[in-house]
A = this chain, B = another copy of it.
Amino acid sequence: MDASSKLSLSGERFHVGYRLHAREAEAQAMAQHICLEQTVEFPVDLVPAGDIRDNIVGHIEDFRRINDDSYVATISFAIETTGFELPQLLNVVFGNISIMPGIRVDQLELPPALLRAFAGPRFGRTGLRERLGVATRPLLCTALKPMGLSVAELADQSYRFALGGIDIIKDDHGLANQGFAPYHERVQACVAAVERANHETGQRCLYMPNVTAPADLMLERALFAQQAGAGGLLIAPGLVGLDMMRQVADDDRINVPILSHPAWQGSLVTNPNSGISHYALFGQLARLAGADGSIYPNYGGRFAFSREDCVSICAGTAVAMAHIKPIFPAPGGGMSLARVPEMIELYGRDIIFLVGGGLHTHGPDLVQNSRYFYQLVAAL
């Protein structure tokens, strides 16, 4: 390693904004450390001269003060460090430094030369609207629950929701392949129930089963769902990996939209001084990994997201990312129907309203409750 390294690099770099929770001198040191830790992970004095030292090691492109305890460093990395694969991109962005307190990924800026490696969502906002035949209004979504119901009971629920005008009926993310409602049987029954309702209403309600599954069964379940006539898929990338969702989205045999669910990802966002921003995780990374809609807990519900967090997710689902399509924000989690008008005012019309339990508590009749939800949204 005496020789100076000369690599074949394009000169293209991607940028990551890191929020550093420390006093200025320490924050400066943290920024320098990130440049090494996320690339060569090697004692600075021994890093080979030439391209490795000059271009593989990250560059601090900008460093600015937010307040005495908070700084933002923008660090760039050669796009070649990612190998143009999602797991290694995640690794460069936040692999080892996830273990160091006080570092939070604020946002990603990925150049077209890197984004070219990723197809992103197959449908995005426009494609999902086309599938549903809903041009401009907000979309209505609910979940089949609770866990423990039989296939017949879940199918009956699907029928009622679809009859009442819900656009997207997803499995609750806790419905996997349990004995009380086995996956294949459940998918067939719920598809049939929704199709029956669609015949009656003339609408195109989509049923999206949960395909979050063991790694060797993900594609099998996704393909089964599509062949059975399901209108989309639910995946929790925290449980199976962002790249597993990417694989399903990229598979040309699969031509249905994907909703991502935030289960297990909470620890990445809930500590304001570390992890990943809501914007980057539920916006940018969900898109990069192929979701057409990104479910997250709405502010003011039973989870701890703030109004600003939610607005930032909405921004991340639509920010310019070359050919990567904008996707739907899908706020949910302890939402009541009463909050719909406030949410439309905040989020606008390109949104999926996910109302789960709230649709059951509004009144005893699920069809009526769904119709009420529909009319509430349609009237605005």
Q: Which chain A residues have a beta carbon within 8 Å of chain B's beta carbons?
A: 1, 5, 7-8, 33, 37-43, 45-48, 51-52, 56, 80-83, 85-88, 90-92, 94-101, 143, 145-149, 153, 172-174, 176-180, 212-218, 236, 238-241, 243-244, 246-247, 262-271, 274-276, 297, 302-305, 333, 356-357, 360-361
Contacts and interface: CB of A to CB of B under 8 A. Distances in A.
A97 B266 CA distance: 8
B149 A48 contact: yes
Given A39-B147, A85-B213, A91-B176, 4 more contacts: A98-B270, A99-B265, A99-B297, A244-B244
Contacts of A147: 39-41, 52, 56, 81
Nearest to A268: B267
Contacts of A47: 146
Contacts of A88: 174, 176-178, 212, 239
B90 A239 contact: yes
A174 B263 contact: no
Given A213-B85, A263-B98, A174 B51 contact: no
Contacts of A177: 83, 85, 88
A85 B176 contact: yes
Given A80-B178, A270-B99, A270-B101, A42 B357 contact: yes
Contacts of A99: 262, 265-266, 269-270, 297, 303-305, 333
B80 A179 contact: yes
A148 B240 contact: no
